[in-house]
Chains A and B, each alone.
Chain A
Amino acid sequence: MSDINRVVVVGASAAGLTTAETLRREGFDGLVTLIGDELHLPYDRPPLSKQVLLGTWEPERTSFRDDATYQRLEIGLRLGVAATGVDTGARTVALSTGDRVPYDRLVIATGVRPAELRAGHELAGVHVMRTLDDALALQAGLARATSVVVVGAGFLGSEAAAAARTLGKDVALVDMAPVPMSRQFGDELGGWIGDLHRDNGVDVRTGVGVARLLGEGAVTGVELADGSVLAADVVLVAIGSVPATDWLVGSGIPLDDGVLCDDMCEAVPGVYAAGDVARWHHRRFGVRMRVEHRMNATEQAMAVAKNILGEPKPFTPVPYFWTDQFDARIQAYGMFPPDAKMTVAQGDPADRKLVAHYHHEGALVGVLGWNMPRELRAARALLLED
């Protein structure tokens, strides 16, 4: 550890903060600098599309730690500052302020940015959601809105549609895929999620894409590829995300849909990545993966901090993620490849309580629980058997 005096972490969200805290917990007493381009103290994102949008949580409640904690842990926060480049030879990070910050070890935890439609984002009332400011802008828009169209029925879009509907808005949920969340969980389970939304009064428009957003100055509607028009005074575009790696182009750090890392989450000597932005080689599964889920941000950041300080170990988690929509809490462990076969192992979709198993190439690769948390935790053990 003697050659490591300065660790710089770029990205001040769950993965970045956990890296910094774990370094301290593991006894690192050198400089820790946490750089983030937002002005807010580091905060948690999953509640944004749930409690914050619903207004049941004040925005401050998403904050991870108070000022005093950063001071006590001697984590140097540089907020409202973007990293603009890395010199891996000189081992410095360039900042938007013009400063260069030297590092012995660098951790990239810049996450992802929302993907956008080809056109229409300049219209008032059209939103994306990633940051707290995005969520507050959408919440303010929803307060005045009558009709809401959510484009994209993945995690974020489906959750936001449920929240908007719970707030009493007319909501349409649009996706090119045949059912909501089919990319995540397949068509059969996604069909049940579609039913859940329909039963709660959401206009589910799946199997059809968006032709264009309508309106001059402010959005008034969404025209679908089949020619139908949905009225909208708020549109949320939730069509996925792209790794925030533009600042690393030309740095020599390998990029391919994320920061390419080895088994230990190291990209080039002395440079690591954690969280949504990291594409690492999962030795146990034998695949390169990038996981955009909250739990992975914590686990990967802890692994990176420990790998920096001690004997490096491969990062081989069982991914965990969850989503809350209306009264459904859906939790999942493992992987859910598009061609996996889903079977209901416990419970019944008619009761909206079930545990599903996902098999791929003969092996159990994922387990999913719908309002059956204890049973799901037991099912997780099955994943670890082979």
Chain B
Amino acid sequence: MRVSIDEDGCVGAGQCVLAAPDVFDQRDEDGIVVLLDKEPGEHLHEATREAALLCPALVIHLAE
């Protein structure tokens, strides 16, 4: 699984961090998403998919 994000459209909701804290973080100043792990391991796939679905700005893209 390869994760990419469209930082530009991110609204800083932080839902991705709640769903997959090992894969996503937020910048301190504005809450914009920070991708911690571009190729998360198998055990993180479900949480990463959940994060992509929950993102209210739909800026998390997965290539599987």
Q: Using an 8 Å CB-CB cutoff, how does the interface string of A321-356 with B read, 1 for contact, 0 for none?
A: 010100001010000000000000000000000000
Is the beta-carbon distance between B26 and A373 smaller than 8 angstroms?
Answer: yes
Interface of A is mostly: helix
Q: Which residues of B contact A331 (CB under 8 A)?
A: 12-14, 31
How many residues of chain B are within 8 Å of chain A by beta carbon? 18
A229 at the interface (CB under 8 A from B): no
B36 at the interface (CB under 8 A from A): no
How far, in angstroms, from A22 to B54 measured CA to CA in the complex?
11
Q: Using an 8 Å CB-CB cutoff, how does the interface string of B7-29 with A read, 1 for contact, 0 for none?
A: 00101111101100000001010
Taking residues whose C-beta sits less than 8 angstroms from the other chain, chain A's interface range is 20 to 34
Is the beta-carbon distance between B56 and A373 smaller than 8 angstroms?
Answer: no
Residue of chain B at shortest CB distance from A301: B53
A46, A299, A302, A377: which contacts B14 (Cβ < 8 A)?
A: A377
Is the beta-carbon distance between A329 and B30 smaller than 8 angstroms?
Answer: yes
Distance in angstroms from B36 CB to nearest chain A CB is 14
**Given A322-B13, A373-B30, A377-B14, CB of A64 within 8 Å of CB of B53:** no
B1 at the interface (CB under 8 A from A): no
Q: Which residues of A contact B56 (CB under 8 A)?
A: 46, 294-295, 298, 320, 322
A44 at the interface (CB under 8 A from B): yes
Is the beta-carbon distance between A46 and B11 smaller than 8 angstroms?
Answer: yes
Is the beta-carbon distance between B53 and A320 smaller than 8 angstroms?
Answer: no
Is the beta-carbon distance between A295 and B15 smaller than 8 angstroms?
Answer: yes
A374 at the interface (CB under 8 A from B): yes
Sample (8) of A-B pairs whose CB atoms are under 8 Å apart: A22-B53, A46-B11, A61-B9, A295-B56, A299-B54, A331-B31, A373-B14, A373-B26
Given A18-B53, A21-B53, A373-B26, 16 more A-B residue pairs with CB atoms under 8 Å apart are: A25-B53, A46-B56, A64-B58, A294-B56, A298-B56, A322-B56, A324-B11, A329-B31, A331-B12, A373-B12, A374-B14, A374-B26, A374-B28, A376-B14, A377-B14, A377-B17
